[in-house]
Each structure stands twice: as structure tokens, then as C-alpha cells.
């Protein structure tokens, strides 16, 4: 591959074609060149930091749309089986712990707040704020997973895990198989959600190292912004899982 000729690089080439192309993208040629000198974080294929940030945010959103469809398939299965077996759904939901689920909802909402504050601290260049908020987000995410562990452990103790050891609660033997479908979806949906949490915590650790090194400021905070979008998305999935799995059977009284 030959080195690109200067004529194709706005700011260096003086041809009218390169200039008009740059101008049509909203960045005059001379400012594009200046931007590269000013900010070492600006990749060579972008005209400005704004354009680079927008491209990253758009890319993350496109990924999140695929995540919406991914979780959407599971929600679709949930809806189909729920319309088929409404009684089994309510009785199974009754076995979930609404209080632990509610606490976890609150934990995730606080973690979304600390995440938003981490992004804001990056935008204002406040390194201490970035570090504390990122660590806070990781601690809250871990708290969620610990509570989730105790919930899962209770399901194993109560023989509610689908499979050969499943035992329908007393009086529910007739709809036991239908309840197994609910619990299969419960474990798949919350399990994949928890896997996303683990990935999110790892991402936060990577971003924390970058924040520690003072990489973020008003001129460059793309990793925090994009990582934050992911974290908030995982929060949104839980916002829908909580009412659909836990609250569905709550009006019959608190669950197990």
C-alpha cells in the first residue's frame, strides 16, 4: 500500500477537491489539521474530536441495538410461554424473593448514578472524581452479583432449578413442568444479565487504570462515555427483568 498522497489529506493538500470535501463534513481543512496537532488522542481518520466521539457513541449504540434484539428474543420467549401458562408464571414468580430483587434494582440505579458521575468527572477533568465513581460503580456491580449469588443458592436449596432435581412446590405438582419453563427462562435471562455485569466490571477496571493515569479530560473521555453507555444498558435490562420476573406474583403476598 503506497503512502497516501498529500492531495487526499485535507489540511495538507491544497487541491480544491480535498478542501471542499473537508468543508462538506463540517470541518474546514485548516482546523482539521490543527486539531491533529492539538490532541494526540485524535485518530488520523477523523477530522475533529467531536466527529471522533460521535462515531464512537454511534458505534456503541449500534452494538446496544444488537443487544436489545439479543435480550428481546428471550423476552419474546417469556411472553409466549406466559400467555400459554399464566398460572404457572404467577406461582413461579411467587417463589422469587421480591425484597432481594428490589434491593438489587436500587443497587443498579445507584451504580448508574455513579457511572454518570464518572463520565461527568471525565468531562470536567476531575481525576479524583473519575477514580472514586468508577470504583463505586465496580463495588455496586459486585454487590449486585453477591446478592444474585444468594438468590441462586436459595433456588438450588428449594429444588427450583429446572432438571432432574426440580421439585414443584406443594400443591403445584400438576403445573411443575410449566414452572420449569419459567425457571429455565429465569436462570437464562438473569444469568446472561449477570454475565453482562461481570463484563461491565472488567471494562470499568480497564477504564479505571486509564483514569488513574490521568488520560481523561475535557478533550478526551470517549472510553468512559462508551463504557458508561454499556453499563446503563445493562441497568435498563434489569429494569425490565425485575417487574416481569419478581413483581408478577407479588400481589399474592411476599415470596420465598
Partner 1 sequence: MSSSHPITPVSTYLITWISLFILTGFTVYVASQDFGALNTPVALTVAVIKATLVVWFFMGLRYNTPLIKVTAVAGFLWLIIMFGITMSDYISRPWLGVPGR
> Which cell numbers hold the place of 179?
414452572
Minimum CB distance to partner 1 smaller for 94 or for 148: 94
Interacting stretch for partner 1, rule CB under 8 A, among 4-12, 52-60, 181-189, 201-209? 52-60
Q: Which residues of 29-53 are buried (b: 16+ CB within 10 A; e: fewer)?
A: beebbebbeeeeebeeebbbbebbb
3-state secondary structure of 9: coil
CB of 16 to partner 1, least distance (A): 28
Please, are residues 231 and 72 in contact by the beta-carbon 8 Å criterion?
A: no
Which of 27, 32, 88, 117 forms a contact with partner 1 (CB under 8 A)? 117
Pick from 85, 75, 96: nearest CA to 239? 75
Q: Is 229 in the site for partner 1 (CB under 8 A)?
A: yes
Which of 31, 41, 123, 142 forms a contact with partner 1 (CB under 8 A)? 123
Q: Is 232 in the site for partner 1 (CB under 8 A)?
A: yes
CB of 2 to partner 1, least distance (A): 33
Q: Which residues of 59-95 are buried (b: 16+ CB within 10 A; e: fewer)?
A: ebeeebeebeeebeebbeebeebbeebeebbbbbbbb
User: Using CB under 8 A as the criterion, which residues of the chain lie in contact with partner 1 when the complex forms?
Assistant: 49-50, 53-54, 57-58, 61-62, 64-65, 68-69, 72, 75-76, 79-80, 83-84, 98, 102, 105-106, 109-110, 112-113, 115-117, 119-120, 123-124, 218-219, 225, 228-229, 232-233, 235-236, 239-240, 242-244, 247-248, 250-251
Amino acid at each position: 500500500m503506497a503512502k497516501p498522497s498529500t492531495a487526499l489529506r485535507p489540511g495538507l493538500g491544497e487541491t480544491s477537491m480535498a478542501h471542499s470535501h473537508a468543508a462538506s463534513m463540517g470541518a474546514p481543512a485548516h482546523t482539521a489539521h490543527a486539531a491533529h496537532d492539538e490532541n494526540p488522542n485524535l485518530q488520523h481518520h477523523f477530522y475533529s474530536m467531536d466527529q471522533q466521539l460521535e462515531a464512537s457513541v454511534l458505534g456503541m449504540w449500534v452494538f446496544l441495538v444488537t443487544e436489545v434484539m439479543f435480550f428481546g428474543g428471550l423476552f419474546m420467549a417469556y411472553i409466549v410461554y406466559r400467555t400459554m401458562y399464566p398460572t404457572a408464571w404467577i406461582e413461579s414468580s411467587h417463589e422469587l424473593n421480591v425484597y432481594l430483587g428490589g434491593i438489587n434494582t436500587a443497587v443498579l440505579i445507584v451504580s448508574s448514578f455513579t457511572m454518570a458521575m464518572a463520565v461527568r468527572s471525565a468531562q470536567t477533568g476531575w481525576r479524583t472524581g473519575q477514580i472514586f465513581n468508577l470504583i463505586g460503580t465496580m463495588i455496586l456491580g459486585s454487590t449486585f452479583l453477591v446478592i444474585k449469588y444468594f438468590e441462586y443458592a436459595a433456588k438450588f436449596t428449594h429444588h427450583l432449578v429446572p432438571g432432574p432435581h426440580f421439585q414443584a412446590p406443594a400443591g403445584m405438582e400438576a403445573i411443575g413442568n410449566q414452572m420449569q419453563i419459567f425457571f429455565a427462562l429465569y436462570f437464562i435471562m438473569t444469568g446472561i444479565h449477570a454475565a453482562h455485569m461481570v463484563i461491565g466490571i472488567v471494562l470499568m477496571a480497564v477504564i479505571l487504570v486509564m483514569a488513574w493515569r490521568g488520560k481523561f479530560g475535557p478533550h478526551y473521555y470517549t472510553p468512559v462515555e462508551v463504557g458508561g453507555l454499556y453499563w446503563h444498558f445493562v441497568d435498563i435490562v434489569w429494569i425490565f427483568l425485575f417487574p416481569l420476573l419478581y413483581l408478577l406474583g407479588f400481589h399474592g403476598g411476599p415470596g420465598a
